[in-house]
Chains A and B, each alone.
Chain A
Amino acid sequence: MTHVLGTSLQERDAAGLALAEDAEPIARACQDVARRFQRGGRLLSFGTGQSAADAAHLAVEFVHPVIVGKRALPAVSLANDASALSGLAHAGVFASQLRLLGRAGDIAVGITIDEAGGEVAAGLAAAHDLGMMTLALTKTGVDLPVVDHLLVARSRDPLIAREIHMTTYHVLWELVHVFLNDPRLTEECPDEVCVTCSDAAVPVRITALRPGHLALADTPDGEEEISVRLVDVRAGDVVLVHAKEAIAVVERRP
């Protein structure tokens, strides 16, 4: 027992420290995921076997955050529905669901600890064809189609790889929120114009103040960050916002 545990400890240490070496690609993937969420994209996760459980775990992190006050983000696991999984087996369980449920702006996350990528590889390929952002969590020795972000657990042992995946998707969730809170992410508004940066002044309610004279505001399109440099406000107040700048207080919180 001692010997076996010792061997598996060394392998686990090596794979865990290798994850630290991948910190930058992980951060880049998170930034990309945050941008997609910000533009209205949804996250669709999938995996087989034990990784099906991880696909569900990743989705619940986003929809029901463990940290109170973090916003819920749209994420769905495609590995939960027994009818879909058994009924679509002939057509590719994930690929066919992605074609029906996915949109070009969405985020596809495929997770596998199985060297034959199989259904997960087919799902990622289908997502890529649809124009979705693709992110794969795999392990050493897995052959996958080209994806936008490939994060490889550095172990051939499927159980150790799965442990690395858990840390990776926990960090993914956390960093996506860090990027979403960063004003620099919202500077560019490339696709459509959002509510608070439109050219007409609109009333919005402040939900929270942020450092640097910034605040979060509740809009019909979700929460957006605005500047409150010109006004003296508290959370709960309603302000008139024009081109991302609050220009007047129209209602004080009672």
Chain B
Amino acid sequence: MTDALYPFLSAAESDAEPLLDTVTRSTVEKAREIVALRREVLTLFGPRIAACGEALAEAFAGGGRLFAFGNGGSSTDAQAVAHLFLAPGDGHRGLPAMSLTADIALLTALTNDIGFDAVFARQLAALGTGADIAMGISTSGGSVNVVRGLQEAKRLGMVTVGLAGSGGGQLAECGAVDHLLVIPSSSVHRIQEAQATVCHVLWESVQRALDEAA
């Protein structure tokens, strides 16, 4: 297990290269890896991100709000993307957006009383309307609560966006996602980094589409 994750570890022990040099080399490799992945994703998904941006701009123009959600690291990415839409600064327009993991009272109440699988679906049922946008983020594509959230959003008639990695998992198969972007990587960390880029470029395209419509 350790060898597979850190092949340079055992190498360092055998050839006595200082550990600092080996980890420096591995950092260079990781930096190059994400540069290549980001380039691949933006080249591959450029037109789809633009189309998604236009759909979101249309929903915002119609009074829609963005609800973003995910688990763990993806919950922080949902928080970051909601904040970017809400308070972009620098003269950009703020748009109504919130993450569904910010309210601890709601999260604990829903988890305690119903179960964690319902934690996003239930909030969307209560807060959302058919005019809104749901964005679910899952590196594996297999998070049950994220899939259920997107299914509920679809049922309500919302625009649904799904960000996944590792082949897309349930998110790709559930039929509830209007705009699906699957990062072609199996590394959780690289997927999250590329998803952040997708969110940023998507936000730019929403701003641009709203500027053009104004």
Q: How many A-B residue pairs have CB under 8 A?
A: 131
Contact B205 A1 (CB under 8 A): yes
The residue of chain A having its C-beta at the shortest distance from the C-beta of B197 within the complex is A163
User: Smallest CB–CB gap between B98 and chain A, Å?
Assistant: 13
Contact A66 B189 (CB under 8 A): yes
Interface residues of chain B: helix, strand, loop or mixed (majority): helix
A2 within 8 A of B: yes
The residue of chain A having its C-beta at the shortest distance from the C-beta of B30 within the complex is A171
A64 within 8 A of B: yes
User: Smallest CB–CB gap between B111 and chain A, Å?
Assistant: 16
Q: In residues 1-45 of chain B, which contact A (Cβ within 8 Å)?
A: 1-2, 5-6, 9-10, 12-13, 19-20, 23-28, 30-32, 34-35, 38-39, 42-43
B46 within 8 A of A: yes
Contact A13 B204 (CB under 8 A): no
A17 within 8 A of B: yes
Contact A16 B192 (CB under 8 A): no
Question: Which of B12, B13, B79, B189 contacts A56, CB < 8 Å?
Answer: B79
Contact B30 A57 (CB under 8 A): no
Question: Which of A23, A28, A50, A67 contacts B83, CB < 8 Å?
Answer: A50
Contact B24 A64 (CB under 8 A): no
A8 within 8 A of B: yes
User: Smallest CB–CB gap between A211 and chain B, Å?
Assistant: 6
User: Smallest CB–CB gap between A6 and chain B, Å?
Assistant: 9
A184 within 8 A of B: yes
Question: Which of B6, B13, B80 contacts A53, CB < 8 Å?
Answer: B80
Contact A27 B27 (CB under 8 A): yes
Chain B positions within 8 Å of A134 at CB level: none
B91 within 8 A of A: no
Q: What is the 8 Å Cβ interface bit string for chain A, positions 6-50, against chain B (1 contact, 0 not)?
A: 001100110011011001101110110000000000000000011
B76 within 8 A of A: yes
B200 within 8 A of A: yes
Contact A54 B27 (CB under 8 A): no
User: Smallest CB–CB gap between B152 and chain A, Å?
Assistant: 24
Chain A positions within 8 Å of B5 at CB level: 67
Question: Which of B2, B189, B193 contacts A163, CB < 8 Å?
Answer: B193
The residue of chain B having its C-beta at the shortest distance from the C-beta of A172 within the complex is B27
A244 within 8 A of B: no
User: Smallest CB–CB gap between B46 and chain A, Å?
Assistant: 5
A5 to B43, CA, bound (A): 9
User: Smallest CB–CB gap between A26 and chain B, Å?
Assistant: 5
Q: What is the 8 Å Cβ interface bit string for chain B, positions 84-98, against chain A (1 contact, 0 not)?
A: 100100000000000
Contact A166 B42 (CB under 8 A): no
B50 within 8 A of A: yes
User: Smallest CB–CB gap between A249 and chain B, Å?
Assistant: 24
Chain A positions within 8 Å of B201 at CB level: 5, 8
Contact A211 B10 (CB under 8 A): yes
User: Smallest CB–CB gap between B5 and chain A, Å?
Assistant: 6
Contact A16 B205 (CB under 8 A): no
B115 within 8 A of A: no
The residue of chain A having its C-beta at the shortest distance from the C-beta of B45 within the complex is A5
Contact A12 B32 (CB under 8 A): no
User: Smallest CB–CB gap between B22 and chain A, Å?
Assistant: 8
User: Smallest CB–CB gap between A36 and chain B, Å?
Assistant: 17
Chain A positions within 8 Å of B26 at CB level: 175
Interface residues of A (CB under 8 A from B): 1-2, 4-5, 8-9, 12-13, 16-17, 19-20, 23-24, 26-28, 30-31, 49-50, 52-54, 56-57, 60-61, 64, 66-67, 69, 82, 159-160, 162-163, 166-167, 170-171, 174-175, 178-179, 181-182, 184, 211-212
Q: Given contact pairs A8-B204, A49-B83, A64-B72, enumerate 14 new A-B contacts (beta carbons under 8 Å).
A: A1-B205, A8-B201, A12-B197, A16-B31, A23-B25, A26-B24, A53-B76, A53-B83, A56-B76, A57-B77, A66-B188, A162-B80, A163-B200, A171-B27
3 closest Cβ pairs, A-B complex: A16-B35, A53-B80, A20-B31
18 A-B pairs whose Cβ atoms sit less than 8 Å apart in the complex: A1-B50, A16-B32, A16-B35, A20-B27, A24-B20, A27-B23, A31-B20, A53-B83, A57-B77, A66-B189, A69-B1, A163-B193, A166-B193, A167-B31, A171-B27, A179-B19, A211-B10, A212-B13
